Structure 1
Amino acid sequence: MTLIQGYLFRQIARPVVGACAALAGIGILSQSLDQLEVIVERGQSVWVMVKLTLLAVPQLLAVIIPIGLFVGALIALTRLQREQELTAVFASGVTRWSAIRPAVRIAAIAALLTLVVTTVGQPWAQRQARAEAFAVRTDLAALLVEEGRFVKGPNGLTVYVQQIEQNGLLKNLFVYMLDGDDAVTWDAAEARFGRIDGRPVLTMVNASTTRYSSRGVLTYGSFAQTVIDLSPYAAVTERVRYKPSDLYLPQLFNPSPGDLERVGSAGELMAEAHSRLSAPLYALMGMAMALTAIMGGQFSRTGYSLRIAKVAGVFLVVRIAGYGVVSASAWNGWLNVFQYLLPIVATGVALRLLFQALKPRRRPVWPALERLKARFA
């Protein structure tokens, strides 16, 4: 890479990274607002919300990278053209292809990153998020604890908490449960839910218990600290249900009977697999369209707003059509080929317009006029 190419690479890469970071920030903010339910309604910690939000980032990146590449490249190329830096580059003897090569390298890096995200990062993060959400949904503490209310749980368990502190400490706890035919009540000044060897437990401080047996015998006891095993009340019969976006490529192309039963049809899995493999092509398409918008026509002193608007509209239409093809491919397998053809054709058309514009225009040849000139020369 020459000095000029390195300069162009940096000038284009910085806006691209900035655009991707800005779009990712917007996506993370949107995801964090959606995950507020985990704190408000489920009583989970802030760390759980942050973890669920960050696990959604790989899936966002698969959508953000092509768009951020297109927007960032437009910003960088517009500035280079407006400040006559591209004109200076061409005047120094750099060929058109050499000037475009840094942008092509950036597009190739973005495409490779998108491929890694869609094939490795997204399924791993989605599986972790699905398991975390399942743990939150089946969390006994979230199901049984609601400040100032009696909450009935499974197998006759009833819990009342007067106050819940931010660190999860429960104040003035009351628990009613059935132990066989005996009715048992507990009350404690402080308590906290936890796990020991994977089993849910309730640790109580300054607690007392009353047991009323079926024979009419009443017993009472007090403890400075005690632990109650809640595993009989936490039996979970559900399983984590995955979606096609949670599976790895080998599972999508060669699904087991269990995957087809729990995740979706073979057509849906195949459409998801081809969608991940074709996603990097949109990064190449975005860079090709950005180059065409700025360098794919005649020089204009008034700017390229109209040309940029047209190219941006085409990019948006093609990307939306790509999502439509993915949905249609789930029911018509032969449409999967269009997941690749759509971005490839759009990239080819953009490159053709770009290189056609870079060729010097030849004056039209009129045979009769040429003969007339030759006769009077």
Structure 2
Amino acid sequence: MYYISAPPGASNAFTRHMTLIERYLFRQILGPILAAVAALAAVALLSQGLRGLDLIVERGQSAWILIKVTALALPQLMTMILPIGVFVGALLSLNRLHTEQEIVVCFAGGMSRWRVISPAVRIAVFAALIALAVNIWVQPLASRTMREQLYSARTDLAATLVKEGEFVQASKGLTVYTQSIDQNGLLKNLFISVAGEDGQTVYTAQEGRITKNEGKPVLLMRYGSSQEFAKNGVLNFLSFDEYAFDLSPYMKNDVYLRYKTSDRWLHELFFPNLQDQWEQRDQLKLLAEGHARLSAPLYNITFMALALAAVVGGGFSRVGYGRRIAGAAGIAAVTRIVGFGILAACEDSAWLNILQYLVPAVTAWFAFRALFRQRVNRYVPVASDQGALMPSAS
């Protein structure tokens, strides 16, 4: 090998040159990853929105409530979306860079394998940190808000007891009909029938509104009348300008707000309230969810390592890397499925939680091992006496 002395500052210039190349690779890889994540998020939001259509069809909620509930479900889906987006985007960008021989030029220019893949690894680490932050703080906050919104929709008396142009039969012999409901929630031309042990009472009113009186839900009716038919055949008739009909006896008392495991904060998962019967019974389930929150971000690094091993880990090929990419995709799918299986098994045995970390970590180790085991032939840039960079001969 020929060694040619370099003038002062040549080494720094070469380092700056390499930094520019790494920035270029970073941008080229980041763009497709962001596009893939955005596309997967759009599909997930569409699927979640279709599942939530019952809020409008059955619960009579507005489209804004549907949009809000759908958006609040996205942080929980990010655990699956982000690693897949990283894998797909990295494969697309790396395959293009390798096919167009840009990565080959980087190796020929003297860049080490680590410096070539370091931009992709940085992106994977950033994705893992973002996923970790979402799992610890954003997901429980969004899930709690969504659960409260769904609870409010299920217990919304205006939606469950009143439907425009329909006779709605509730529990305890209550039947409600309204001809129309305006945008402000004002009910027009009301008809209410209450069947009890002492007889039947019928209320009619020109308008009404569901509100609260002393903390209790009431139907405030105006300009109407009531007819009470007793069992002894007596008819009592009463007209009124305003009458408050108590709705609290007809509320579903069995519906109450309970946060699921996905709604809990991290400290609530690892340190549950053992005084609560439900948390004491599902202590292992809460523990498994807590470890899943911490281990799931590792799949971003694992899937990036598999993408790098599939494209950069082998020699250059003009016919493409379809077989290696298909193999990496299969390994990624099996790894994630095994991870889900281990999560389910951890609900019965606490010691299995260690496998939630080992599965992505071991897969990433094998991927990086295969990546660095492949040797590359390259020229090592050195500088001549005049400062020009020249390849060495060996």
TM-score, reference length from structure 1: 0.86
C-alpha separation between the residues in 2 aligned to 1:157 and 1:245?
37
Per chain length, whose mean CA-contact separation is higher, i.e. which structure has more relative contact order (CA < 8 Å, sep 6+)?
Answer: 2
Percent identity over paired residues: 48
C-alpha separation between the residues in 1 aligned to 2:279 and 2:179?
41
C-alpha separation between the residues in 2 aligned to 1:116 and 1:264?
28
CA-based RMSD: 2.7
C-alpha separation between the residues in 1 aligned to 2:41 and 2:215?
36
Aligned pairs for 1:1-377 (under 5 A) are 2-164=19-181, 168-177=185-194, 184-195=201-212, 199-204=216-221, 207-210=223-226, 212=228, 216=234, 218-223=236-241, 228-234=245-251, 236-261=253-278, 264-358=281-375
User: Counterpart of 2:296 in 1: which secondary structure?
Assistant: helix
Q: How far off is 1:218 after superposition?
A: 3.1
C-alpha separation between the residues in 2 aligned to 1:64 and 1:9?
21
Deviation by residue 1:168-217 (Cα, 9 ceiling, x = unmatched)? 55332212348997965432344443456764343445x31225497957
User: Counterpart of 1:257 in 2: which secondary structure?
Assistant: coil
Q: How far off is 1:271 after superposition?
A: 1.2
Letter paired with 2:348 = W
Letter paired with 2:349 = N
Q: How far off is 1:138 after superposition?
A: 2.0
Instruction: Say if 1:121 and 1:32 are closer, same or farther in 2 by CA, change over 3 A.
Output: same
Letter paired with 2:236 = L
Which moves more between the two structures, 208-217 or 21-30?
A: 208-217
> Any unmatched runs of 5+ in structure 2?
1-15, 379-394
**Native 8 Å contact 2:273 2:279 kept in 1:** no
Deviation by residue 1:267-289 (Cα, 9 ceiling, x = unmatched)? 21111111111101100001111
Which moves more between the two structures, 36-45 or 125-134?
A: 125-134
Q: How far off is 1:32 after superposition?
A: 0.4
**Native 8 Å contact 1:147 1:161 kept in 2:** yes
Instruction: Say if 1:8 and 1:270 are closer, same or farther in 2 by CA, change over 3 A.
Output: same
Letter paired with 1:308 = I
Deviation by residue 1:245-265 (Cα, 9 ceiling, x = unmatched)? 221111111111245525852
User: Counterpart of 2:363 in 1: which secondary structure?
Assistant: helix
Q: How many residues align?
A: 359
Letter paired with 1:209 = S
Letter paired with 2:298 = L
**Counting helix residues as a fraction of each chain, which structure ranks higher?**
1
Q: How far off is 1:150 after superposition?
A: 2.8
Q: How far off is 1:72 after superposition?
A: 0.6
Partner residue, 2:383: none
Letter paired with 1:248 = W
Q: How far off is 1:312 after superposition?
A: 0.5
C-alpha separation between the residues in 2 aligned to 1:274 and 1:355?
30
C-alpha separation between the residues in 1 aligned to 2:147 and 2:280?
13
Instruction: Say if 1:23 and 1:264 are closer, same or farther in 2 by CA, change over 3 A.
Output: farther
C-alpha separation between the residues in 2 aligned to 1:123 and 1:7?
37
Q: How far off is 1:160 after superposition?
A: 1.2
Partner residue, 2:388: none
**Native 8 Å contact 1:35 1:53 kept in 2:** yes
Instruction: Say if 1:194 and 1:17 are closer, same or farther in 2 by CA, change over 3 A.
Output: farther
Letter paired with 1:56 = A
**Native 8 Å contact 1:96 1:358 kept in 2:** no
Instruction: Say if 1:201 and 1:352 are closer, same or farther in 2 by CA, change over 3 A.
Output: same
Letter paired with 1:343 = P
